[in-house]
Amino acid sequence: MEMNKTRWCRATLLLLLSLALRGAAYLQERKNYIVHLRPREGADGGSVEEWHRSFLPQAAARLDSTADGGGDDGPRIIYSYTDVFTGFAARLTDEEAEALRATDGCARLYPEVFLPLATTRSPGFLGLHLGNEGFWSGSGFGRGVVIGILDTGILPSHPSFGDDGLQPPPKGWKGTCEFKNIAGGGCNNKIIGARAFGSAAVNSTAPPVDDAGHGTHTASTAAGNFVENANVRGNADGTASGMAPHAHLSIYKVCTRSRCSIMDIIAGLDAAVKDGVDVLSFSIGAYSGTQFNYDPIAIAAFKAMERGIFVSCAAGNAGPDPGTVGNGAPWMLTVAAGTMDRAIRTNVKLGNGEEFHGESLFQPRNNSAADPLPLVYPGADGFDASRDCSVLRGAEVTGKVVLCESRGLSGRIEAGQTVAAYGGVGMIVMNKAAEGYTTFADAHVLPASHVSYEAGAKIMAYLNSTANGTASIDFKGTIIGSYPSPAVTFFSSRGPSKASPGILKPDITGPGMNILAAWAPSDSHTEFSDGGADLSFFVESGTSMSTPHLSGIAALLKSLHPDWTPAAIKSAIMTTSDAVDRTGLPIKDEQYRHATFYAMGAGYVNPALAFDPGLVYDLHADDYIPYLCGLGLGDDGVTEIAHRPITCGGVKAITEAELNYPSLVVNLLSQPITVNRTVTNVGKASSVYTAVVDMPKDVSVTVQPPMLRFTELKEKQSFTVTVRWAGQPNVAGAEGNLKWVSDDYIVRSPLVIPPKGEQQ
């Protein structure tokens, strides 16, 4: 009897253990997916949520519809997308995912991926002033327009988000506010909506609050209200404001720190469109090179564009390599990053008398590196030390200025912390060759200077010429008028777009280097606070910073021209942009070479001209269908993007060059190519424009007709552009401009012939 009981207990334990292990394995096998469905035929099948549940296994669907939301593992359906995406996000096992893929009506499954997060001077640098002249005040500073920010949330108590002078939310606004227990802040007439999604909404009494700083920075850049005496430790001092300081903000927290789940991003886009935003600002990395029907963000943005919402996206920070640009769909504005004419200047002086300019946000009054000190380069001394100063074991740096190699986009402050920990009293960060002249104003923890590659090479040459090299670092504060400006930064992602190389991307360049804007408490910046007090403003760089500049400018244009389509606003921004710097010379890249259109897009944004562009190249949602069919995506692929059934056999497909875009990319081989364009008159009713072509002499361009006459506003005129080689084809390609010139306007479109190796 005792033996039988023992056997029974052992068998029971083994069974329970087996069930537990199988249950644990079952839970572990569940993964997050976005389920993309084909457009629903008819609306008789119940609610959208019920339709989505019908694709789950029966047991899971029953659990998901119960009050407990799906059992111990939570609901199987995480989001039901209703506005910008046909489908839902769900937790599925591998077997369930495979079964769902084979289900009629399922187009595609996307496994969950995480995307990275991609001022006082910029308004003035862009020609926006507080006086009555110009269009800033004339536009009402963006009054009445709602900008949706998809990012890490917002610090609502920051003075940049006060609502002095702002009107209540517009009629028909449907957004909600999730702030709870916020001391000194919450929703008001500036922040009219705030929501958090996914892990950003878990275990928090106030989910949309920014704990990373990034979202607060981008929101204030787009639409921060006026704040006087904004600075960081006395640097970059002035009146801070966003591009559209009287626009409303709606916040969608889809990121935590630097992690942004694609499921949460689509949920945020879905909510923003449903709420009724006018502009979407998206400073998040993208699927680079993925064709558009495999890119959930491009698919969602198409629906937003169709609803009349302007979508502004970061080009990415993967430059300067070609073909790295992301967010390349033509219905989105893709923004590159450029510099301004402000530097937070340092001066490095060597023992041989040579001096070099650099930058640093840390400008100490008690400067331990003011007098000449021994200069050392740890990477060359044979110890266990790295050239970028990430490791200094065995290197003798105590009491010295340490020369460190740049780590690229990050790591400079950490290098200074390492140098200081080993007794160094100063640091010079020198660029690698690919980084050229792009220098960051960082919040260093010791006297430091970030210098160009050219300066670094000369400092290295000096060190190699002497056994007793010395250096000192002097601090000059904020300098206005640095040259050349603007220039494209090294990190700004470059074209051509791999998804659609026949569309010029990026579209435009905006201020993205050393941008001062509002800040929220952040663990990553506590080393630069005063006794634990957090800074109200901070300086950051990236296409994350250039994107909200363009979002705010789009809001100004939307306020001035509420009837303009997103394509018309984009055209106005692109065709009025600057291809030359403040001295009238072509805009330069990080090497101070002539920047190509693949680096800067059409040029550097000039909002003071964009409000009255004369002519625009307009597009509506249906106009993209022939282009998408021409890309060879097939009926199913175009259907997925358009959110409705499309049969390309019934559509006259066009090439990328034939899309009515404000720029032209012509894959020119030996035969001439002719493309069509249509412009809409939004300037003066009675006006005459003449075609002016600026191209290298080995390229022949013919425009027919060469003159356009308009007699009324909103009148449309079409023309053809024929491009041919005047001699032998140039394998290096060519760049130039097509301009329509009247007495009052210059409407400029880039014209690009790609190098032979990049032609498709």
- Write out pLDDT tens, residues 559-599: 999 999 999 999 999 999 999 998 999 999 999 999 999 99
Are residues 640 and 598 both part of a single domain? no
Measured CA to CA, the distance from residue 610 to residue 587 in angstroms comes to 19
Q: Report whether pLDDT(507) > 50.
A: yes
Catalytic residue list: 151, 214, 544
Are residues 333 and 348 both part of a single domain? no
Nearest to 613 by CA among 669, 544, 551, 564: 564
How many domains does the chain divide into? 5
Does a structural domain hold residue 571?
A: yes
Tens-place pLDDT, residues 228-270:
666 666 665 567 778 899 999 999 999 987 678 999 999 999 9
Cis-peptide into 486, omega within 30 deg = yes
Does a structural domain hold residue 374?
A: yes
DSSP secondary structure letter of residue 488? B
The pLDDT of residue 14: 47
Strand 448-451 and strand 426-430: the pairing is: parallel
Are residues 450 and 393 both part of a single domain? yes
- For the segment 265-283, the average pLDDT, to the nearest whole number, is 95
Query: Pick from 425, 452, 480: which residue ends a domain?
Result: 480
Does a structural domain hold residue 198?
A: no
Does a structural domain hold residue 414?
A: yes
> For the chain, what is the mean pLDDT?
86
Does a structural domain hold residue 11?
A: no
Are residues 455 and 355 both part of a single domain? yes
The pLDDT of residue 20: 46
- Do 448 and 420 form a contact (C-beta atoms < 8 A)? no
Q: Does the pTM of the predicted model rise above 0.75?
A: yes
**Within 10 Å of residue 343's Cβ, how many Cβ atoms?**
24
Are residues 606 and 505 both part of a single domain? yes
Are residues 296 and 434 both part of a single domain? no
Reduced to 3 states (helix: H, G, I; strand: E, B; else coil), residue 93 is: coil
Residue range of the domain that includes 459? 342-480
Are residues 326 and 229 both part of a single domain? yes
**Within 10 Å of residue 537's Cβ, how many Cβ atoms?**
27
Are residues 332 and 348 both part of a single domain? no
Distance between alpha carbon 527 and the CA centroid of its chain, in Å?
A: 27
pLDDT tier at 289 (50, 70, 90 boundaries)?
A: confident
DSSP secondary structure of 505-574: SS-EEEE-SSEEEE----GGGGGGSBTTBPPSEEEE-SHHHHHHHHHHHHHHHHHH-TT--HHHHHHHHH
pLDDT tier at 359 (50, 70, 90 boundaries)?
A: very high
Measured CA to CA, the distance from residue 574 to residue 334 in angstroms comes to 11
The pLDDT of residue 127: 67
Strand 615-616 and strand 673-681: the pairing is: antiparallel
Give the CATH number, domain containing residue 743.
2.60.40.2310
Does a structural domain hold residue 192?
A: no
pLDDT tier at 745 (50, 70, 90 boundaries)?
A: very high
Structure-token pair, residue 561: 């021209």
Per the listing, tokens 């929101």 go with 219
Evaluated on CA atoms 246, 252, 257, 260, the torsion sign reads negative
**Within 10 Å of residue 380's Cβ, how many Cβ atoms?**
14
The pLDDT of residue 120: 45
Give the CATH number, domain containing residue 62.
3.30.70
The answer for residues whose C-beta is within 8 angstroms of residue 256's C-beta and 6 or more apart is 152, 199, 200, 211, 212
Give the 3-state secondary structure of 626-675: HHHHHCCCHHHHHHHHHCCCCCHHHCCCCCHHHCCCCCEECCCCCCCEEE
Cα three-residue angle 125-128-129, rounded to 5 degrees: 105
Does a structural domain hold residue 148?
A: yes
Are residues 157 and 221 both part of a single domain? yes
- Do 315 and 283 form a contact (C-beta atoms < 8 A)? no
Measured CA to CA, the distance from residue 332 to residue 326 in angstroms comes to 11
Query: Pick from 628, 657, 686: which residue ends a domain?
Result: 657
The answer for residues whose C-beta is within 8 angstroms of residue 727's C-beta and 6 or more apart is 698
Provide the b/e sequence for 267-291 (b: ≥16 CB within 10 Å): bbbbbbbebbbbbbbbbbbbbbebb
Are residues 182 and 285 both part of a single domain? yes
Are residues 349 and 331 both part of a single domain? no
DSSP secondary structure of 267-292: HHHHHHHHHT-SEEEE-B---SS--G
Query: Pick from 111, 137, 152: which residue ends a domain?
Result: 111
The answer for residues whose C-beta is within 8 angstroms of residue 731's C-beta and 6 or more apart is 755, 756, 757
DSSP secondary structure of 720-744: EEEEEESSS--TT-EEEEEEEE-SS
pLDDT tier at 184 (50, 70, 90 boundaries)?
A: low
Measured CA to CA, the distance from residue 436 to residue 490 in angstroms comes to 7
Does a structural domain hold residue 606?
A: yes
Are residues 220 and 300 both part of a single domain? yes
Give the CATH number, domain containing residue 335.
3.40.50.200
- Do 615 and 681 form a contact (C-beta atoms < 8 A)? yes
Provide the b/e sequence for 70-106 (b: ≥16 CB within 10 Å): beeeebbbbbbbbbbbbbbbbbbbeebbeebeeeeeb
Tell me the sheet residues that pair with 707.
690
Cis-peptide into 320, omega within 30 deg = yes
